[in-house]
Amino acid sequence: MPQKKKTKKEINEAIQDWLDSYSSSKKATIKDVAQIAGVSKNTISRIINNSPLVKDETRLVVKTIIEKIGYQPDPQARGLAFRHSFLIGMLYGNPNPHFVLNLQQGILDGLDDTDYELVVRPCYRSNPNYLSDIQAFVERMKLAGVILTPSLAEDEALAKMLRKAGCKYIRISPAELDEEKNIIVTNDRIGASEAADYLSSLGHTQIACILGRSDFLSSKERLEGFRESLRANKIHLPTEYLVKGDFTFESGTSATQELLALPTPPTAIFASNDEMAAGALHAIRLAGLRVPEDLSVVGYDDFHIAVTVWPRLTTLRSPIHDTGKLAVQKLLSENPSNQSAFPDIPSPTLVVRESTSPPTP
Amino acid sequence: MPQKKKTKKEINEAIQDWLDSYSSSKKATIKDVAQIAGVSKNTISRIINNSPLVKDETRLVVKTIIEKIGYQPDPQARGLAFRHSFLIGMLYGNPNPHFVLNLQQGILDGLDDTDYELVVRPCYRSNPNYLSDIQAFVERMKLAGVILTPSLAEDEALAKMLRKAGCKYIRISPAELDEEKNIIVTNDRIGASEAADYLSSLGHTQIACILGRSDFLSSKERLEGFRESLRANKIHLPTEYLVKGDFTFESGTSATQELLALPTPPTAIFASNDEMAAGALHAIRLAGLRVPEDLSVVGYDDFHIAVTVWPRLTTLRSPIHDTGKLAVQKLLSENPSNQSAFPDIPSPTLVVRESTSPPTP
DNA sequence: CTGAAAGCGCTTACAG
DNA sequence: CTGAAAGCGCTTACAG
């Protein structure tokens, strides 16, 4: 189309013309930008996609035009041409709203200033069509990638299906169950061992642990970290001090009641999450005992509940938000295996509040 | 293309051929379906879009083919042709994860078996580019519609912008601030008046109210409902019994401390949400008083916190999940003004637990 | 009730 | 460094 290069003045006039005639009614397309700039659509496309094969001057002129007429490339059209969408998916099954929303926020923050948007989808492993539903979803939407939260992230069959479907994914998991480029490890084991280290540093030697749901790897990892710490601190762990829970408040209550009924009850309890720690507090109060005077309690997660119970919980805070953000960066990176570009997520940090103290002699 | 109608046998062979050659590698397109069926793409398109202009027999044959080869229409291609995407947006600013996730779940359930998916986006009114950011988002994504949660839903400027941009929207709000077709009203006023009715039915006559954030309409509506009930029950409401809060635990605590310092403290407190009610419990415990013996407390929302505090909260439960689901149905309906098709959302229900009792004489 | 052609707004070889 | 043409997978008038 362009017989000769347009002058700056001609371009400004073209912009003005466009603004006068269209603006309010119709959105600008790549064609509009091309015509105003006096170049082909190819060139505009190259600029949108940061191709180096464009003269700097041309790039500058075009960018100004784009800015002025408020052109936004159509993600659907780009997606159609690219054979994938500009959507990434968050697949979640985790029942805790704080976890899900924190992660979601981190993902959204990671998506800021990218061309991608987030579509969310709860998934239930118990659903008989679980795998094929997700596959249909991923293929229909031509997702650029998906982020898997615990405990979906721990499902090897899911990961395998995604690989076969050619869909990139990031698993967020407490254990290293995939290649570096496909996973972000959350260090639950380290967090739990810190919890136990802290209790032992306070002088406790009778420390019990309330386990989480057995179908969550985090339960296993937290227990492992707890065990490692006790071993390192030469603290004996009677099997009665390990009691089952399922991450709910109620299970924390009943588990604690079991512990209190023991011939030698513990002087400290590490609950695998805050929810159960709150339940523990409840059981202890019902038993007429005081926290932390009679019994110290440590939770895990530092979710909101940790500060709304009394006493407020000593607990471990995971960088969930940052995990989500990192997951996006890794997912959208061309070189996700590059270790140095993606540092490990920091370990959980201990937050000390009023639910712990040295044991009363 | 089709010289003469294909026989059933020919079609079955065509299906088999397709499955043999493609299946694993490439996804089926409308062209594949058309070729196998021996009809034009137009016909397939009509069937996808439920056009009545297709012979029943043709429709049946094509549907079987679609089923067998697992064809899924490409939402991006459809979107491009339709000039809108098959995405709806949830715009949220509400800081409570339980509310957001409940609503999100309701919306997702409403989206089941439709052609649409959900993309989520947190919005902060405090952001100076708040409006233009949303506008850019909505236009770029060519959203089929958006759902607005409190307190975004209360922003008239937002609604106006969306109307101008030609983007359908549903506001979820405690007050009727838009045309029937654009809003779902949550009846907070009724809920609050039930709370007060209940306290008065227990015999309380000294009832205080902790207000919520003044930039949320729900605060105003809940207060209004509270007032109406007291008036109806001929209970005097001293101005000191109305104290400010901001929906947080801490504000519930300090508001309650104000109330307890009064020459004549109330015998019952209605907090505008559970969070503040939990804070009230905390303040009361710190003051050495007991709930409900010395003071009854009622919350609002029935979020998880209501059952993790002690005593558990008497509170009001809103049908948030159903609200989200209804919002989708209204948004996607061709005739959203049809009152009868979209019944009002039921009023909140009172959930009685251990935080309330008759006043001790 | 059905089909051929053009178009939605992009990108991708290919050619220069 | 730049452009003309074809194509991504659909739908929409239009014609029959």
The stretch B185-196 carries a mean pLDDT of 97
pLDDT band for B7, please (50, 70, 90 cuts).
confident
- What b/e sequence results for A255-272 when a residue is b if at least 16 CB atoms lie within 10 Å of its CB, and e otherwise? bbbebbeeeebbbbbbbb
Q: How many CB atoms lie within 10 A of CB A112?
A: 9
Spatial separation of the C-alpha atoms in residues A295 and B216, rounded to whole Å: 41
Higher pLDDT, A95 or A187: A187
Beta strands (DSSP E) in chain A are: 87-92, 117-122, 145-148, 169-173, 183-185, 207-210, 242-243, 268-271, 296-298, 315-317, 349-351
Say how far A77 CA is from C11 C1', in Å: 9
Q: Give this prediction's pTM.
A: 0.93
Spatial separation of the C-alpha atoms in residues A191 and A270, rounded to whole Å: 11
Amino acid at B27: K
Q: Superfamily for B188-319?
A: Response regulator (3.40.50.2300)
Contact, B113 CB vs strand C, < 7 Å: no
Say how far B55 CA is from C1 C1', in Å: 6
The stretch B105-127 carries a mean pLDDT of 95
Provide the sign of the torsion angle of the four alpha carbons B131, B133, B134, B135, taken in this order: positive
On the question of pLDDT at A112 being above 90, the answer is yes
The stretch B54-64 carries a mean pLDDT of 90
On the question of pLDDT at A120 being above 90, the answer is yes
Q: What is the DSSP letter of B354?
A: T
What angle do the packed helices B97-111 and B320-332 form, to 10 degrees?
40
On the question of pLDDT at B254 being above 80, the answer is yes
Question: Do B155 and B103 form a contact (C-beta atoms < 8 A)?
Answer: no
**Chain A residues 81-140 within 7 Å (CB) of strand D:** 81, 83
Choices 1.10.260.40, 3.40.50.720, 3.30.1330.40, 3.40.1350.10: CATH for B8-73: 1.10.260.40
Q: State the SS3 of B262-305.
A: CCCCCCEEEECCHHHHHHHHHHHHHCCCCCCCCCEEECCECCHH
The stretch A150-155 carries a mean pLDDT of 94
Most confident of A14-18, B59-63, B312-316: B312-316
**What pLDDT shows up at residue A5?**
67
In sequence order, the 6+-apart residues with CB closer than 8 A to the CB of A332 are A88, A114, A116, A144, A145
- Tell whether A160 lies on the interface with B, counting CB pairs under 8 A: no
Question: Do B199 and B296 form a contact (C-beta atoms < 8 A)?
Answer: yes
> Is B75 close to A285, i.e. CB distance below 8 A?
no
Burial grade of A64 (CB within 10 A; 0-12, 13-18, 19 or more): middle
Give the pLDDT confidence of A162-207 residue by residue, as tens digits.
Answer: 999 999 999 999 999 999 999 999 999 999 999 999 999 999 999 9
Pinpoint the residues of chain B covered by CATH 1.10.260.40. 8-73
Q: What's the gap in Å between the CA of A335 and the closest CA on chain B?
A: 25
Q: Which of B98, B104, B308 sits opposite A120 (nearest CB)?
A: B104
On the question of pLDDT at A302 being above 90, the answer is yes
Least confident of A51-60, A230-239, A319-328: A51-60
pLDDT band for B24, please (50, 70, 90 cuts).
low
- Tell whether A136 lies on the interface with B, counting CB pairs under 8 A: yes
Q: Which residues of A touch B309 (CB under 8 A)?
A: 308-309
> Is A80 close to B87, i.e. CB distance below 8 A?
no
Question: Which single residue has its CA nearest the C1' atom of nucleotide D12?
Answer: B81
Question: Do B141 and B119 form a contact (C-beta atoms < 8 A)?
Answer: yes
Distances (CA, A) of A14 to A20, A45, A48, A73, A301: 10, 20, 20, 19, 57
Mean pLDDT for all residues in chain A: 92
Q: Which residues of A touch B98 (CB under 8 A)?
A: 97
**What pLDDT shows up at residue A2?**
42
pLDDT band for B2, please (50, 70, 90 cuts).
very low
Q: Which residues of A touch B76 (CB under 8 A)?
A: 76, 79-80, 85, 142
Amino acid at B234: K
The H or E element spanning position A141 is helix A130-141
Spatial separation of the C-alpha atoms in residues A175 and A218, rounded to whole Å: 8
Which of chain C's bases lie under 7 Å from a protein CB? Answer: 1-5, 7-13
- Dmax over Cα atoms in chain A, in whole Å? 94
- Tell whether A127 lies on the interface with B, counting CB pairs under 8 A: no
Question: Do B158 and B134 form a contact (C-beta atoms < 8 A)?
Answer: yes
The stretch A216-244 carries a mean pLDDT of 97
Burial grade of B64 (CB within 10 A; 0-12, 13-18, 19 or more): middle
Give the pLDDT confidence of B29-41 residue by residue, as tens digits.
Answer: 999 999 999 999 9
Give the pLDDT confidence of A40-93 residue by residue, as tens digits.
Answer: 999 999 999 998 888 888 899 999 999 999 999 999 999 999 999 999 999 999
Contact, A81 CB vs strand C, < 7 Å: yes
pLDDT band for A337, please (50, 70, 90 cuts).
low
What angle do the packed helices A97-111 and B97-111 form, to 10 degrees?
80
Which of chain D's bases lie under 7 Å from a protein CB? Answer: 1-5, 7-13
On the question of pLDDT at B209 being above 80, the answer is yes
**What pLDDT shows up at residue B21?**
74
On the question of pLDDT at A24 being above 90, the answer is no
On the question of pLDDT at B217 being above 80, the answer is yes
- Tell whether B354 lies on the interface with A, counting CB pairs under 8 A: no
On the question of pLDDT at A23 being above 60, the answer is no
Least confident of A102-111, A306-315, B19-28, B61-70: B19-28
**What pLDDT shows up at residue A54?**
86
Give the pLDDT confidence of B268-293 residue by residue, as tens digits.
Answer: 999 999 999 999 999 999 999 999 99
Pinpoint the residues of chain A covered by CATH 3.40.50.2300. 81-186+321-341, 188-319
May I ask the CATH class of domain A81-186+321-341?
alpha beta
